[in-house]
Amino acid sequence: MKAIILAAGLGTRLRPITSTTPKCLVPINGVPLLELWLRDCERAGVEAVLVNTHHLAERVEEFVAARRGIPVTLAYEPTLLGSAGTIAANWSFVDDTESFLVVYADNLTTFPLSELIAFHATHDRIASMALFRSPNPSACGVVELDSSGLVTGFWEKPANPPGNLVNAGLYVFRRQVRPYLPTEVPADIGRSLMPALVGHAMGLPLASYFVDIGTLENYYRAQVDYAAAAG
């Protein structure tokens, strides 16, 4: 199993913190977000990780160079490719694997990646995606599941969401996803890939703590909430 950690975002809603620190390195109780994800990848048995970079890429390079543990490949994007575009551009990294993880680095959760990998092994669909209940689903990718957990509907940031079960930005994809990847960039997973995978993906609702730390409000609240949830 390999993993792609999407970490190239500008983090505009986290300014002024992200004026000097890339979003993937903002600290949660003193530990950079990217470090938390790399530790979870290691616990899940992931063999290698690719991290895409853009904003303040040199800071991520310094962090990776100083770290020991799981091998990390950096993929600098002079122009942002979008999350799906990043997978397509770095297909050679995962081409020798049957399945691979994709993680949005700006999410924070106590949910272990090993559970998503185990869930993925229980079915033969192209993708597995983690889901959570959102108080503001119109700002998210809204998902509809049937009784078996099959994704039967997906709407990216709909004005009138049909429910509050939403995309958590944690995926396992089988290599059969390649024909569904966009050929033009920038292209995002939510807008360009997941709608095409309706009927070909399974969803796993999370009971764990989960938050998108993309805003200052969420970021500061997470410092307390994450510590309490992690025990």
Query: How does pLDDT run across 126-184, given as a tens digit for each residue?
Result: 999 999 998 889 988 999 999 999 999 999 999 999 999 999 999 999 999 999 999 89
**d(Cα 201, Cα 153) in Å, to the nearest integer?**
10
- E strands present in 119-199: 127-133, 141-145, 151-156, 165-174
Q: Where are the alpha helices (DSSP H) in the chain?
A: 33-43, 57-66, 83-89, 91-94, 113-120, 216-230
Mean pLDDT of the 15-29 span: 90
Q: What is the pTM of this model?
A: 0.95
Share of the chain above pLDDT 70, in %: 100
| Kind and range of the H or E run holding 210 | strand 210-212
Where do the DSSP E strands lie in 67-109? 72-76, 99-104, 107-109
Domain encompassing residue 109? 2-230
Cis amide bond preceding 16, omega within 30: yes
User: For residues 175 and 94, is the Cβ–Cβ distance under 8 A?
Assistant: yes
Residues 6+ apart with CB under 8 A from 38: 5, 49, 67, 69, 70, 72
**What's the structural domain count of the chain?**
1
- CA gap 52, 128 in Å, rounded: 21
- Per-residue pLDDT for 11 more than 80? no
- Reply yes or no on whether the pLDDT at 79 is more than 90: yes
At residue 214, the pLDDT reads: 81
State the Cα angle at 22 between 21 and 23, rounded to 5°.
110
- Residue pair 34/50 in contact (Cβ under 8 Å)? The answer is no
Pairing of strands 107-109, 141-145: unpaired
Q: Write the CATH number for 220.
A: 3.90.550.10
In angstroms, the CA 136 to CA 153 distance is 18
Q: How far apart are CA 88 and CA 65, in angstroms?
A: 25
* Structure confidence by residue, pLDDT tens digits, 24-58: 999 999 999 999 999 999 999 999 999 999 999 99
